[in-house]
Amino acid sequence: MVHRLLDGVRVLDLSQYVPGPYAALILADLGAEVVKVEPPGGEPMRHLRPRDKDGTSAHYKVINGGKCVVELDLKASAGKAAFETLLASADVMVESYRPGVLDRLGFTREHLEACNPRLVHVALSGWGQSGPYRLKAGHDINYMSLGGGLVASGVKEAPVFAWPPTADFASGIQAAATALAALLACARSGRGAFVDVSLAESVLAWQSIGLTSDARGKDAPARARNTLNGGAACYNVYRTKDGGFVSIGNLEAKFWANFCTAVGRPAWIARQWEALPQEALIAEVAALFAAEPLAHWEALLQAVDNCFEPVRSFPELASHPQIAARRLVQTSGGAEPLVEVLYPAWVDGAPPGPRAPVRFAGAREVVERWRRRAVAE
């Protein structure tokens, strides 16, 4: 485990792909014991490419590190009974079924509460447990579309979606945060909670600024037309002569002035807040950066007090002095390397410890261990 803040907390992870497993990964990194319950043969992500020699997807391994995986058939009576034993001593259950699926399996809200009244049940779905879209299919790009994540992102001609999938990871963080709040409430009341988190709403929750601007008839964010999304010269991404990219975020007047002075363009200082979009000034700054290779600009601007940073490639990330100093990147696996980013927080001055690899175990072993613990408690 990475930290031990949730030592003693037990989590059942019934989810698949990225959002739910990422939420459970956060809880595992904070010290919880996470048992991932998968159907016979494993969840679909286990079999996606790239697959290692053991037949398991490398991407599956990095999103499920620190967990113990068991296979249970929740459609069979034996599987249901085993799962109920796990439920009885679980603190949190994360699942990502479509609404109604757990009911059809026999695990209604009433049954779950009867099994464990202290259970924090986190239901993570695309659109939420209610509303006309509750059963509609979707993926990250669709949730970003309805949640406002694409309306103002991209270039003037079209929206551009981001990597990694934003709604997937945003909803995982939202689910983990709400689960932790529900655990605190349970410690006071002795009652669990039913947490309904949607991927689309995890993105929608970030749109208050744009919605408020629009409601007041002001300039709501529009692609490449506002200060923070490509409309301003002082906050933009530029290509260098050798095909590299750099970012500048010189919103404060002093940083913009320092930048302009360093590149020999003092006349630009007074032009910082020309009307948006600043297409003429952006073109001039772009021409400047295009005249020299990336190494030239890095040598010149890293020593200047301004907001400048090259766009780093994946190979550059792990070896970068700042990232290396923070000790969050963990590489394991030898000939089949897994490069994982640990929980992004230091606690009491200490960085996160190493994350254990995903472990596969027999269901009987885990069920019996949890049963004995429940009896002891």
For tokens 């967990």, the residue is 67
Active site residue 196: no
Contact 16, 45 (CB under 8 A): yes
CA 138 from chain center: how many Å? 18
**Cα distance between residue 284 and residue 273, in whole Å:** 15
Q: Which residues of 147-159 are buried (b: 16+ CB within 10 A; e: fewer)?
A: bbbbbbbbeeeee
91 is catalytic: no
Q: In whole angstroms, what separates CA 203 from the centre of its chain?
A: 11
Count how many Cα atoms sit within 13 Å of the Cα of residue 336 in the half-sphere of its side chain.
12
Q: Looking at 139, 242, 305, 320, which residue is catalytic? A: 139
Q: Give the residue carrying structure tokens 């909670």.
A: 193
Q: Give kind and range of the element (H or E) at residue 239.
A: strand 235-239
The Cα 35–Cα 305 span in angstroms is: 48
Nearest Cα neighbor of 240 from 303, 306, 296 is 296
Active site residues per annotation: 139, 168
